[in-house]
Amino acid sequence: MPTPLPSYLLDVTLADFLPPSTIPLARRLPSITLAGRDIPPTHHLVLFPPASRLSALLPDGTDPEQSPGDPFVRRMWAGGRINFHPTDHPDFKMLGKRASCLERISDVAIKGTPGDEKIYVTIERRVSQSGHRQRGLDLQRSGVEMVRRCLMQDKYCSIIEHRNIVFLRERSKDMAADAHKKPAKILKPQQSPTFSHILTPTAALLFRFSALTFNAHRIHLDKQYCQETEGHRNLLVHGPLSLVLMVELLRRHLAGVGTTLIDGRISVRSDPITEIEYRNLAPLYAEEPMKVCGRDKGEGVWDLWIEGSDGGYAVKGTGKTSHNYKGLRSPPPFRSLKLESTARESVSVPDTTSSAPDEPDPAPRHTLEDAEEYGKMPLAS
């Protein structure tokens, strides 16, 4: 599937941690000159990264843009909500054109007793595909201010995301050591999942995801810092990485359920994911197994959750899909990649440079053996 380079690299990074799927992984770098392919849900998370200089980063390696400042120097990703194509706006597709992201702080709340306050910051991100005319307006040719005004209207947005970040007070080394020794509260799921998959995140996986998201937060990279400053026993799995894993496994399950062979061609029923809401309840650690689960509640609603190594809830969420059948679809041929460079201020605009495309490969017909090669099988428990 033609995707921008960060999305392709995210697929490659996750490949060894996910079960086989009817959704094929490109065998060579895809071309963004093939228009009209959807960017997978949550893959926008590796687009529009913060562009702060290294000298501007805070001591824990985080971006300073949303930080309230001292003494609230620790941050955690608490959860969020994403709406995909929230109105009748087209999906977020790779068109080899400009895309825009408007980021703003939409809410701030202070909770807790004096001396133990926490600051909750909600960050809103609005993403639009700008490579074609939308409702009579050509965003590709519009200036930054015009794009900003348009993105404040839902009708122009392909994705609307709300991220909930919590900022906490600094811990002394003694407090961090005590926190490390405290037994965790465990709340175990009572329901059985429709699908599940167990994986063990590694330090290398966390490093790659940090690189893809331009995230230098030391809780994902520096074990000693985690233990002595934050009070954790090992590197922490990123909140957005947990989200990507939940959504990707749901997407693979839907594709597996809806895939059949008709007239020698692979037919994929498309139940696009339209909304995801989630909360991070407990830390997930590198080198410890985690179980990603989903349960069909009917009518396109899914309970999603991740269990930590203790079997308790670490992440809990709800996904929604819309039933839609798009008929026969052949896995696309893959060609060379046109590279992307990204710049981001208050409005982010990834641009693509021009290069001569390779000659397209002929679109093959697919057989039952092809379906087996793509891993047509249910998710493993």
Residue 258 pLDDT > 90: no
Instruction: Supply the pLDDT for residue 38.
Output: 73
Nearest to 144 by CA among 351, 365, 295, 348: 348
DSSP state of 56: G
Tell me which range, 57-71, 75-89, 168-182, is most confidently predicted by mean pLDDT.
57-71
Enter the tokens of residue 37: 């392919």
Q: Which range is least confidently modeled, 82-86, 137-141, 147-151, 234-238?
A: 137-141
Q: Cβ contacts of residue 298 below 8 Å, gap of 6+? A: none
At residue 333, the pLDDT reads: 31
Q: How many helices (H) and strands (E) does the chain have?
A: 7, 17
pLDDT value of residue 140: 53
Average pLDDT of every residue of the chain = 76
Q: What is the predicted pLDDT for the residue at 24?
A: 62
Phi then psi dihedrals of residue 234, to 5 deg? -160, -175
Question: In the predicted model, what is the mean pLDDT of residues 207-226?
Answer: 96
- What integer pLDDT is reported at residue 361 of this predicted model? 39
Q: Per-residue pLDDT for 354 more than 50? A: no
Residue 40: which of 82, 79, 77 has the closest Cα?
82
Among 216-230, 244-258, 325-339, 340-354, the minimum mean pLDDT is found in: 325-339
Which of 175, 167, 184, 163 shows the shortest CA–CA distance to 80?
A: 163
In the prediction, which pLDDT does 237 show? Answer: 98
Q: What is the mean pLDDT of the segment spanning 286-302?
A: 95
84-107 residues labelled b (16+ CB within 10 A) or e (exposed): bbbeebeebbbbbbbbbbbbeeee
CB 92 within 8 A of CB 134: no
**DSSP structural state of residue 15:** G
Mean pLDDT over residues 67-85, rounded? 92
What secondary structure letter does DSSP report for 220?
Answer: G
- Confidence category of residue 22, pLDDT binned at 50, 70, 90: low
Concatenated DSSP letters of 168-186:
E----HHHHHHHHHSPPP-
For the record, the structure tokens of 238 come out as: 């990123």
Q: Under a CB-based contact definition with an 8 Å cutoff, are residues 291 and 197 in contact? A: yes
Distance CA 18, CA 114 (A): 44
Reply yes or no: is the peptide bond before residue 71 cis, omega within 30 of 0: yes
Of 97-111, 190-204, 338-352, the range with the lowest mean pLDDT is 338-352
Backbone angles phi, psi at 229, to 5 degrees: -110, -40
**Residue 196 reports pLDDT greater than 50:** yes
Query: Which among 152, 192, 185, 149 has a CA at the least distance from the CA of 295?
Result: 192
pLDDT score at 376: 31
pLDDT, average across residues 340-350 = 36
Q: What is the pLDDT of residue 86?
A: 66
pLDDT of residue 36: 53
The predicted pLDDT at position 335 comes to 27
Extract the tokens encoding 95: 């068109």
- Would you tell me how many other CB atoms lie within 10 Å of the CB of residue 45? 24
Mean pLDDT for the stretch of residues 302-309: 97
- The residue written with tokens 């992201």 in the block is 101
Confidence of residue 256 (pLDDT cuts 50, 70, 90): confident
- Tell me the C-alpha distance between 241 and 263, whole Å: 38
- Provide the pLDDT confidence category of residue 95 given band limits of 50, 70 and 90: low
pLDDT 10s digits, 269-286: 557 899 999 999 999 999
Helices 203-212, 5-14: crossing angle, 10 deg rounding: 170
Q: What is the mean pLDDT of residues 193-206?
A: 97
317, 246 contact by CB (below 8 A): yes
